[in-house]
A = this chain, B = another copy of it.
Amino acid sequence: MTIRTSLLTATCAVTVLATAPFAVAQEKPIIRDAEYRILERQHGDRWTAEDTEIDAKLAELRENNGGKPPNILYILLDDIGFGEFGMPDLDVIRGYSTPEISKFAEQGMSMMRMYSEPSCTPTRVAMITGRHPVRTGFDEAKAVPEGEGLAAGEVTIAEILSDVGYATAHIGKWHMGDIEQSYAINQGFDYAEHPIHQQAQLALMNTTALNEGHISGVDMRLRSDELMLDDTFRIDPFAMVYNIVGEKGGKPREVGMEPGQKFSQDDYLAMGQRYQDKTLEQLEQMAAGDKPFFLQYWPLIPISFTRTDIEQAQTLNGGPIAEAIVNIDTYVGEILDRVDELGIAENTVVVIMGDNGPFMEFVDRSGQSDRIYRGGKTEHLEGGVRVNAFVRWPEVIEAGSRVKDITHVSDLFTTFARLGDAEAGIPRDRIIDGVDQLPLWLKGETYGRRDYVFIYEGFVLKSLVKQQFKMHLPPPGGNPILASMYDLYKNPREDRPQDSIQVGVGFGANFSLMAQRHLGMKKQYPDQAPGHGELYGGIENLRPETKALVENIMFGQSLTAGSE
């Protein structure tokens, strides 16, 4: 595990992490945030009893599966918030439907109150490390290259599962950094193929989108050369690295781009299709192998901005993202069919979910629309962080069940670790936010182990959720009296703060204590710094224009290097 031999550079303190062997680490308990420990104190005895029962069940399932823990297939859909897929009652609202995912939802459990982080990178970091992104120091990969990424010292679920014998692969969107230590093959995956950046590069800064007038800022034709002193400010998107492929222990290569090539929407769609094909290929290879597998498929679509690829609208909605949601539903259906055909459905836990709400600023154009919850991507409002999430494990998880227990995307880290009989690999030297939700999955509603969520926007704690209540915090340094409180059942849109008679005197103070405990524990376990390094490090076949870009960016970054 990378962590054993690396240093974590903390923002407030430098911490040398233990290099102790596994067995020793295992004896220590997982370090939990205060809020979890308060629940544990009240329910610990019951949880211990449940865990004994669940461990026996898992052992039995492994025994029936040739001694192997189950495969895990994790499909994460981009920028689709709660109510946008897998809920046929809401199809009428949006004018499109997702029959394949709806069918899948009926075969498994709907986690109706899953919280993501409010944006792509933090959701992915939370899932893969089991920690609030703020703790890792890496919260948001920018739309431009920056020489930053997920630190090598973070322990990922892929590393943990890999260490106990899982075959691991990642296909599709990654979005966790443009430096060597942050690539998927250096974060626990045996095989990976992914873009370095996100769809702002791929689907928005392409020739097609430019011609449709979606982004004039980077359109060279609209530049006034005479007045432009800095030729490097408007980055040439075509010089950025696109798609890399590699294997653990090796070096990745960029594939699919020639020097001088201008990326188009057709290239974007081909890239999306390539990830789909690669996922199917990996699925087949992994199913044929002896190891249990952990396969992540994080598609690029439904993100789509241009209208050229809408040959014939399939939906009443007609928006490019709405159309692409129907396409991704077909993609997902194909994957699920393949799981069936390969005969591995019974021993494969499949999770499908969204990563955050939609970008509300272009919902009209995209065809995404207002949902019950207010707000979208980047926001701490429920509309930013509530997503649909479904898990299927035939005969184990109750088909067609819906649970209202609170879950957070970081819980998948801990839950997958337990599924893989790999809890010993969870690091014991840092706070783990992810809660084991196997009791919820196996025993059903009310067996969840979380009644709270901390919601950050970037590095700022913005909201506290406890039970059905939510407190919006004032800005850092602001008067605590400015905090407002909401009953999410009575006001899901969070626009009518409750008065103290409604919520009961003292309630606000309880929230305040909750925030204090959470922030107070950071003195002992401070937030870390992200990974920094050479932009596109380790990629051996950089194009000439990419090398020029790297030089420009690294020059700019070097000017502030002294401040870190």
- Count of this chain's copies in the oligomeric assembly: 2
B317 touches A489 (CB 8 A): yes
Residue A449 interfacial (CB < 8 Å): no
Residue A90 interfacial (CB < 8 Å): yes
> When the two chains form the complex, which single residue of B112, B316, B368, B495 contacts A92, counting CB atoms closer than 8 Å?
B112
A317 touches B490 (CB 8 A): yes
A364 contacts which chain B residues (CB < 8 A)? Answer: 487, 490-491, 496, 498, 502
| Beta-carbon nearest neighbor of A367 in chain B | B490
Q: Mark A306-321, 1 if CB is under 8 A from B, else 0.
A: 0000000000110100
Decide: A372 near B88, CB < 8 A? Known: A319-B490, A367-B489: no
| Beta-carbon nearest neighbor of A110 in chain B | B89
Tell me how far the C-beta of A324 lies from the nearest C-beta in chain B, rounded to whole angstroms: 15
| Beta-carbon nearest neighbor of A87 in chain B | B89
Residue A95 interfacial (CB < 8 Å): yes
Residue A468 interfacial (CB < 8 Å): yes
> When the two chains form the complex, which single residue of B95, B402, B468, B491 contacts A89, counting CB atoms closer than 8 Å?
B402
B89 touches A489 (CB 8 A): no
Tell me how far the C-beta of A3 lies from the nearest C-beta in chain B, rounded to whole angstroms: 37
A490 touches B88 (CB 8 A): no
Cβ < 8 Å to B, chain A residues 370-425: 370-372, 402, 404
A370 contacts which chain B residues (CB < 8 A)? Answer: 372, 491-493, 495
A369 contacts which chain B residues (CB < 8 A)? Answer: 489-492
Residue A175 interfacial (CB < 8 Å): no
The docked-state distance in angstroms from the alpha carbon of A368 to that of B112 is: 19
Tell me how far the C-beta of A80 lies from the nearest C-beta in chain B, rounded to whole angstroms: 15
In the complex, which of the residues A112, A113, A492 has the most CB atoms of chain B within 10 Å of its own CB atom?
Answer: A492
Given contact pairs A364-B490, A370-B495, a sample of 4 additional A-B residue pairs in the complex whose CB atoms are under 8 Å apart: A93-B372, A93-B489, A94-B492, A364-B498
Query: 9 smallest A-B Cβ distances: which pairs?
Result: A95-B489, A92-B112, A370-B493, A317-B489, A87-B89, A92-B404, A89-B89, A372-B372, A369-B490
